[in-house]
Amino acid sequence: MRWALVKVCLAVTAMVVVAFAVPLGLVVQEMARDRAFSNAERQAATIGPTLSITTDPGQLRKAVESTQMGAAQRMAVHVPSIGGGAPVEIGTTRAGAHAVEETRRMGRAMTARLAGGGSTLLQPTALGSGDIAVVEIFVPESEVSNGVATAWVVLAGVGLALIVGSVAVADRLGARLVRPAERLADAAHQLGEGRLGARVPEDGPKELRSAAVAFNSMADQVVELLANERELAADLSHRLRTPLTVLRLNAASLGDGPAAEQTRAAVEQLEREVDTIIRTAREQRAPASGAAGGGGGAGCDASEVIRDRMAFWSALAEDEGREVRLAGVDRTVRLPVARPELAAALDALLGNVFRHTPEGTPFAVDVHDAGDAVIVLVSDAGAGIADPDAALRRGNDGGRDGSTGLGLDIVRRVAESTGGDVRIGRSMLGGTEVRVWIALDDRARGGSGGVRTRRVSRRKRRG
């Protein structure tokens, strides 16, 4: 495309230069000829007053020699026979007798080409006797073409400069048009090869800018779709951990025997496979996927979700002899979180309690409405977490069977999707307390305008 544009511009400019330069050169050539013969006519007119007074050969010779053309031997005077006398010719004659007679007969100036080069101007002049004398002026070829060669050289230089300039402008314009297209094609190849960070600078002509904007938007959507897919795979796999925990605990109570051992081995194998799926999804997760919470558009009643999930876990807690305390769920508490997301977060927290504390360890779930946020506390009377910061870190090295580190990550993503956070500390029961701070947006609070200010001040006090 770039070279095609250059060729088109070169052809058009060359045609324009030829169309204007050639006629202009011919006009200059004609002007030089007219100038030379006009000067010759003026020189011929200088001898006219002398011819009107006298036809004496001596006086005419002196008059001719006193002129510029006569001194250069470029003037001649042809006087016809007067009163039966002989014709008189003064100066160096170059024109033939026929041309002289033709000029005298027609009574107007004529030009004649000479065989040796150059031209002559034959100017008729009336004498006092009524006869016609002819003044001959020699015009050399150098005078006729004076300045013509220089004019052609100048025109050729100007034309060449125009062609070179037009080619340079066309090349720059072509580069400006082609470079964004090349970048767009290169980014498309990179995206096709799996490099999801490929983007195109949004510059160049309007059409290419629109194409770059559309490509970047498409690439962002591809990254978002892949991230959502991997997050969904990880979340769904992690949600399988809840029934797996129940299966593992039930398998542990089967006692001894081949069937019991096979059941426990199958449950362990299934747990390892689920852990592998979760770790793989975590490793392939795009860094720019960001927090994927339920969003402010979906909401649920936290009290209803917590009561529902506690009904599920209470049966297992009763089998293991765990004391369960539930508080703050006797009234409706609306959250800007989708019900499946909140349920997954609660299952992750409660699953950690059953997994990492011995049987018979009591635990509690409390819900507090703080005005601008809802706080969900899950606490137990276990041994606690030695390094809370490491527990909150996204993922782990996968060195522990049955743990992927995604449980607290799910909880944190749900909280951060609303502007909240997750904290781990020591509970009143003596073990671990996970504090989930879920901020309420304006819709959940009925359009309260001071939510953000109270949220900032509360976080400062907590800090």
Which helix (H) or strand (E) segment holds residue 44: the answer is: helix 2-45
Tens-place pLDDT, residues 151-196? 888 988 988 998 888 888 888 777 777 778 888 888 888 888 877 7
Quick one: pLDDT at residue 444?
41
> Confidence class of residue 283 from pLDDT cuts 50, 70 and 90?
low
Joined together, the tokens standing for residue 266 give 């199958």
CB 248 within 8 A of CB 271: yes
User: What average pLDDT does the segment 356-368 reach?
Assistant: 91
User: What average pLDDT does the segment 130-145 reach?
Assistant: 86
Q: Using a CB cutoff of 8 Å and minimum separation of 24, what contacts does 149-155 make?
A: 151/25, 151/28, 151/29, 152/25, 152/28, 155/21, 155/24, 155/25
* Residue 287, pLDDT above cutoff 50: no
Q: Which amino acid is at 289?
A: S
> Confidence class of residue 291 from pLDDT cuts 50, 70 and 90?
very low
Tens-place pLDDT, residues 202-228? 877 788 888 888 988 888 888 888 777
Tens-place pLDDT, residues 63-106? 888 888 888 888 888 888 776 677 888 888 888 888 888 888 88
Quick one: pLDDT at residue 447?
38
Which helix (H) or strand (E) segment holds residue 381: the answer is: none
Q: CA-CA-CA-CA torsion for 22, 28, 34, 39, nearest 10 degrees?
A: -160
Most confident of 190-204, 275-289, 398-412: 190-204
* Residue 299, pLDDT above cutoff 90: no
Quick one: pLDDT at residue 406?
56
SS3 11: helix
User: What average pLDDT does the segment 48-74 reach?
Assistant: 84
Quick one: pLDDT at residue 362?
93
* Residue 367, pLDDT above cutoff 90: yes
* Residue 9, pLDDT above cutoff 50: yes
* Residue 363, pLDDT above cutoff 90: yes
CA–CA separation, 307 vs 301, rounded Å? 10
Quick one: pLDDT at residue 49?
84
Token pair 């299966």: residue: 247
CB 205 within 8 A of CB 180: yes
DSSP per residue, 132-167: EEEEEEEE-HHHHTTTHHHHHHHHHHHHHHHHHHHH
Quick one: pLDDT at residue 365?
94
Quick one: pLDDT at residue 57?
84
Token pair 């058009």: residue: 12
CA–CA separation, 331 vs 342, rounded Å? 17
Tens-place pLDDT, residues 410-433? 788 888 888 899 999 888 888 999
